[in-house]
């Protein structure tokens, strides 16, 4: 794999760390800024909404820029946002800073995925995207625990200063390693927007919403499931989440390799496996050992969906992939929010925690059905060259 992918992976690591590290620092932030814990929790929601809303806006702003310049600009926004987080004097300032930071998230991953795919031969594009996203998975395994430890020991602001430093390192890597290609597209914004007329692009986005949304039906409530159903202590839950993060990293690599071999068949197989694992977790969640094993395998299947889902959008928006790829990052976040809402709705209606894996399996089956529809829509266009 080309060395520029390392710069993209480091950037993904920094962005992933700043997204999730706040979760481990909420008590410190709430106490320091004199707000309630639920109010502090809105910093997570604000970031997710910023990704979903800000990503396409910044993609439009950067539509006429060479992709390298766009990545540099977005990493600059990321650095500024984290510095503002570190110096925020009150809750409102911190919320604004988090939203500013989130604007860089979706656009960087969207454009970065296009750049990663362009650096390698066609048969390795999904693996290249997966390598970039490895930075995001490692952020969960290494960056978030380290940032949480630093924030707890030296203050939450120090954690954001360190993430900002990672941003500077990432910017230097992008500047030095990513090729300087003037490939923004022939007509800029108008060309990018026109690609959204293709229904296959929208179907691909919905595949992402449902395919990853099922994961968050359970993941949002994984701590209470592991504590109340499986019987883990809080320390045990932390260990299981690290194991889950390792599974994400493994699954990301596997998903990229499978997608390079056969994109749609691989995605269908992964979704089938994911739905089955969720159904199995409804039973194994009652046993600590079985739950730990299932969570690891679930992590593999969950993130194995990411490279093929991202590659599908890039493939269907070949003429103007920047905006579509960025929208797909927003689709992941919409799926996250929707899955969390659906899980909360089930709990609110009195269902037990061990029912959530069944709900997640149902959402994943819907994603599988939509994938089958998309594959059928591909068939006529695939048959045209044979007739000619």
Cα 109 to Cα 104: distance, rounded to the nearest angstrom: 8
Q: What radius of gyration, in Å, describes the C-alpha atoms of the chain?
A: 20
Do 141 and 216 share a domain, yes or no?
no
Q: Are 167 and 289 found together in one domain?
A: no
> Are 42 and 75 in the same domain?
yes
Highest mean pLDDT range out of 47-51, 55-59, 83-87, 221-225? 83-87
Of the two residues 54 and 79, the one the predictor is more confident about is 79
Three-state SS at 223 = helix
Tell me: pLDDT of 384 over 70.
no
> Are 333 and 244 in the same domain?
yes
Same domain, 209 and 175: no
Task: Of 161-165, 294-298, 339-343, give the lowest mean pLDDT range.
Answer: 339-343
Whether 151 and 6 share a structural domain: yes
Among 153, 164, 159, which Cα is nearest to 104's? 164
pLDDT mean across residues, the chain: 84
Beta strands in the chain (DSSP E): none
In a domain, 386, yes or no: no
Domain that holds residue 311: 185-380
Residue 388 falls inside a structural domain: no
Q: Say yes or no to pLDDT of 353 above 90.
A: no
Q: 43 in a domain, yes or no?
A: yes
**Which of residues 161, 182, 203 is at a domain's end?**
182
- 285: in domain: yes
Residue 278 forms part of a structural domain? yes
Choosing from 138, 154, 182, the residue where a domain stops is 182
Stretch 169-198: mean pLDDT, rounded?
72
Of 164, 182, 200, the one marking the end of a domain is 182
Task: Specify the CATH number for the domain of residue 104.
Answer: 1.20.1250.20
pLDDT of 140 strictly over 80:
no
Q: How far, in Å, CA of 142 to CA of 147, rounded?
A: 8
The pTM (predicted TM-score) of the whole model is 0.76
Structure confidence at residue 42 (pLDDT): 77
* 107 and 204 both lie in a single domain: no
| pLDDT above 60 for 69 | yes
Residue 114: inside a domain, yes or no? yes
Whether 117 is covered by a domain: the verdict is yes
Mean pLDDT in residue range 169-183: 84
> Tell me: the pLDDT tens digits for 3-47?
888 899 999 999 988 887 886 777 788 889 988 876 777 787 788
- Name which residue leads in pLDDT, 358 or 59: 358
The mean pLDDT value for 123-135 works out to 83
Q: Measuring CA to CA, which residue among 368, 374, 294, 317 is closest to residue 117? A: 317
The tokens describing 318, both together, are: 């070949």
What's the distance, Cα to Cα, between the start and end of the chain in Å? 36
Number of domains forming the structure of the chain: 2
235 plus 120 within the same structural domain = no
Residues 214 and 173 in one domain: no
pLDDT tens-digit readout, 263-304:
899 999 999 999 999 999 999 999 999 999 999 999 999 989
Tell me the backbone φ, ψ of residue 181, rounded to 5 degrees. Answer: -110, 135
For residue 70, CA distances in Å to 178, 268, 326 come to 12, 34, 12
**How far apart are alpha carbons 144 and 227 in whole angstroms?**
21
For the segment 329-341, the average pLDDT, to the nearest whole number, is 81
Residue 385 lies in a domain: no
Residues 148, 228: one domain? no
User: How far, in Å, are 115, 130, 181 from residue 5 at the CA level?
Assistant: 9, 10, 15
102 and 237: one domain?
no
Task: Indicate if 287 and 168 belong to the same structural domain.
Answer: no
What pLDDT band is residue 1 in, cutting at 50, 70 and 90? Answer: low
Residue that is written with structure tokens 């604000």 in the block: 46
């Amino acid at each position: 794999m080309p060395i520029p992918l390392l710069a993209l992976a480091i950037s993904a690591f920094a962005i992933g760390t700043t997204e999730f590290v706040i979760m481990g620092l909420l008590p410190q932030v709430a106490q320091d800024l004199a707000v309630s814990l639920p109010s502090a929790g809105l910093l997570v929601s604000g970031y997710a909404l910023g990704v979903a809303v800000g990503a396409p806006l910044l993609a439009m702003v950067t539509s006429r820029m060479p992709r390298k310049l766009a990545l540099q600009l977005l990493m600059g926004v990321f650095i500024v946002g984290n510095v503002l987080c570190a110096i925020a004097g009150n809750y409102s300032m911190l919320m604004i800073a988090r939203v500013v930071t989130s604007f860089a998230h979706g656009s960087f991953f969207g454009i970065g995925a296009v750049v990663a795919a362009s650096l390698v031969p066609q048969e390795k594009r999904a693996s290249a995207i997966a390598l970039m996203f490895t930075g995001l998975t490692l952020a969960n395994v290494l960056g978030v625990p380290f940032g949480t430890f630093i924030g707890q020991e030296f203050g939450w602001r120090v954690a954001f200063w360190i993430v900002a430093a990672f941003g500077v390192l990432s910017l230097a890597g992008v500047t030095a390693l990513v090729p300087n290609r003037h490939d923004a597209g022939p007509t800029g914004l108008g060309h990018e927007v026109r690609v959204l007329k293709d229904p296959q692009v929208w179907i691909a986005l919905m595949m992402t919403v449902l395919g990853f949304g099922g994961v968050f039906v359970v993941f949002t409530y994984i701590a209470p499931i592991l504590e109340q159903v499986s019987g883990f202590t809080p320390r045990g839950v932390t260990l299981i989440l690290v194991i889950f993060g390792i599974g994400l990293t493994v699954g990301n690599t596997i998903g990229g390799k499978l997608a390079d071999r056969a994109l749609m068949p691989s995605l269908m197989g992964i979704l089938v496996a994911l739905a089955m694992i969720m159904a199995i977790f409804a039973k194994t969640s009652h046993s600590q050992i079985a739950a730990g094993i299932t969570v690891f395998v679930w992590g593999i299947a969950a993130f194995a969906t990411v490279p093929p889902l991202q590659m599908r959008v890039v493939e269907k928006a070949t003429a103007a992939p920047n905006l579509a790829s960025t929208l797909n990052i927003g689709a992941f976040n919409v799926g996250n929010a929707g899955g969390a809402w659906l899980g909360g709705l089930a709990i609110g209606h009195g269902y037990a925690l061990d029912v959530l894996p069944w709900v997640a399996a149902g959402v994943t089956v819907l994603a599988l059905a939509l994938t089958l529809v998309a594959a059928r829509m591909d068939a006529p266009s695939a048959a045209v060259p044979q007739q000619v």
